[in-house]
Chain A
Amino acid sequence: MKRSYLPVAFLLAVLMLNLIFTQYMVHQYFYEHYTNTIIAAVINVILFPVAFLIYKKGVNVHD
């Protein structure tokens, strides 16, 4: 079966979001906007299971 590189692209997008939210989180912490810091941290944590699901789907269906 032909491999799909769509999951790889999604995972790269997730990683990009991780980078963005991590930097946002650190900056907001030093600007003392602690609510925003917590929001960014929660998003970062949620992105991990999302990445894992993308991986699972990508591996089972197309490989």
Chain B
Amino acid sequence: MTDKNNKIPFNEDNYTHNINRNNERKLDRRGFMKTLVGAAGVFAVSSLPWGVLAAKELNGLGDKKYPKHKITDEKSLPIGDAVDFAFPGEHDSAILIRLSEKKYVAYQNACTHLRCPVFWKKDEGEMLCPCHHGKFDVNTGEPIAGPPRRPLPEIHVKVENGAVYAVGVKRYEA
């Protein structure tokens, strides 16, 4: 009886005799197929957000709707002149420029550099931010000089019954 607790249970120098790890990492045919099915699953799951985004675009949810906003009457804005307004919110200052009889352009006039107001220089035919002399193309809103690198957000305008309305903001495209 006294011997019982003093005996080494197995005639070996360690206790890992029953751990067999041979071929543990071998990828057999079944394991390989499992991996392939898993990969197909990953592809399926990663497709879902694209489908959702595409459905969202198709339903027009990406375009925000704003109530149309009267800017000015056609008569009170001579060709080549500009008028300031606010769209879509009351603090989103914007500028409407009449380029010709029928052509109006409107931009949110916070400079895309540091949000100084942008002014319409009639005699130079370009939009100028006086803070750091950023200049914008009046037809597209693209920056053409100075620190700004992004275009001014364009506002869609519509002429109805002799008045000019702001109807929406063009989506930002990087």
Give A residues with C-beta under 8 Å from B. 3, 5, 7-8, 11-12, 14-15, 18-19, 21-22, 25-26, 29, 32, 34-35, 37-38, 40-42, 44-45, 47-48, 50-52, 54-55, 58-59, 63
Instruction: Verify B43–A7 contact, CB threshold 8 A.
Output: no
Instruction: Say which residue of B41, B47, B55 sits within 8 Å of A25 (CB atoms).
Output: B47
Shortest CB distance B172–A (Å): 15
A-B contact pairs, 29 of them (CB 8 A): A8-B29, A8-B32, A8-B33, A14-B36, A14-B40, A15-B40, A15-B43, A19-B43, A22-B47, A25-B47, A25-B50, A29-B53, A32-B57, A35-B54, A37-B51, A40-B50, A41-B54, A42-B51, A44-B43, A44-B47, A45-B47, A47-B44, A48-B37, A48-B41, A50-B40, A54-B33, A54-B37, A55-B33, A63-B30
Cβ of B8 within 8 Å of any chain A Cβ, yes or no, is no
